[in-house]
Amino acid sequence: MSELSVSTAVEPIVSARGLRKKFGGKEILHGLDFDIPPGRIYGLIGHNGAGKTTTLNAMLGLTACEGTIRVLGEDPFAKRAKLMENVAFISDVASLPRFLRVRELFALLSNIHPNFSQDKARSFLEGTDIKPEMKVKHLSKGMVAQLHLAVVMAIDAKLLVLDEPTLGLDITYRKRFYRRLLEDYMTEERTLIITTHQVDEIEFMLSDIMFIRDGDMILHMQMETVNEKFTQLVVNDPEQQAAARAYGPVYEETRFGQTVMIFDGVDRAILEPFGRLSTPTLSDLFVALMQRPTANPEPAR
């Protein structure tokens, strides 16, 4: 179901071919192939243990993999340090050094990272409760997330990777986090890759999605194409349901007495007579594609 609409003329920011990774003899990634062009906002979505973080770690040079992966044309595992001049990431919001004060953190980063701007970082913190003299260990979880976001946003990077950046934060912080990211950071030259379980919260900002299921890429598509390709049908009448089933819904469930079906690539004009049509949300699509009968070839235990 991969639909790479990337123009071959555009040099991808990330390119993977036959990406495989094993942990203790068990293969976690089964030969992923994908290209991520610049200027896009990608959502990397999958169950726990599907291989999202392993894929991100491969992009960030944090783990060695079989196959080929290139980020900004470089092998990330071999050249992680060099690559990090143009790549920023948040892998865990709690990973800021707790012993530092905010001003010490900024001063150190000014000397360590050639593309970090202390002024930008300070400006991103304006209007927050975070003060330069505060120690990271004394900040609340939400403040640490704000600080970490200010740090990565103050780095003039071509690729920003966020792995569950809002884990454990309340809805207010999460919404503020993404709004800030979108308003103050994203430009046409920058690429953003996000993984999160709160897919509905980031759906509005995504340009592309990648679904990973059990180490396989099952969907790689632009959001516009998703909207065109997938249709959700709500149908109540048993006869209409039976008729709609003939078009092979990829997913079907009953919610509050109503039957909901999701179709892949079926013309809306055909489905319209059966009931109410809409575009499935990302979370509906996620559930649909992850729970197809063929979703998990391993027998349930």
Partner 1 sequence: MKAFFALVHRELIEHRGAFLLGPLLLVAVLFGATILAFTVGRVDARFSGALFTVAPLRVYELGFLFFGLGWSLYMISVLFFYCADGFAADKRNNAMLFWKSMPVSDFKVLLSKLTAGLTVLPGTVYAVALLSGVLLYGVAYVTMLINGTATVATLGSIVVIYGNVALAILVSIVCGLLWYLPAMALVGAVATAIGRWAIPISLLMPAIVSTLEWVTLGGLHPFATHTWRFIEYRGKLPETPYVQDWSVSAETFNGVIFATDLISHMDWLQVGIGAVFAIVVIYAASEYRRRVNDN
| Least distance (Å) between residue 57 CB and partner 1 | 7
| Least distance (Å) between residue 190 CB and partner 1 | 16
CB-nearer residue toward partner 1: 98 or 179: 98
| Least distance (Å) between residue 151 CB and partner 1 | 9
| Least distance (Å) between residue 221 CB and partner 1 | 29
CB-nearer residue toward partner 1: 135 or 292: 135
CB-nearer residue toward partner 1: 103 or 180: 103
| Least distance (Å) between residue 95 CB and partner 1 | 4
CB-nearer residue toward partner 1: 154 or 289: 154
CB-nearer residue toward partner 1: 163 or 264: 163
Residues that bind partner 1 (CB under 8 A): 57, 60, 62-64, 80-85, 88-92, 94-100, 104, 108-109, 111-114, 152
CB-nearer residue toward partner 1: 82 or 268: 82
| Least distance (Å) between residue 136 CB and partner 1 | 9
What Cα–Cα distance (Å) separates residue 231 from each residue in 5, 211, 244, 271, 288? Answer: 20, 17, 12, 9, 11
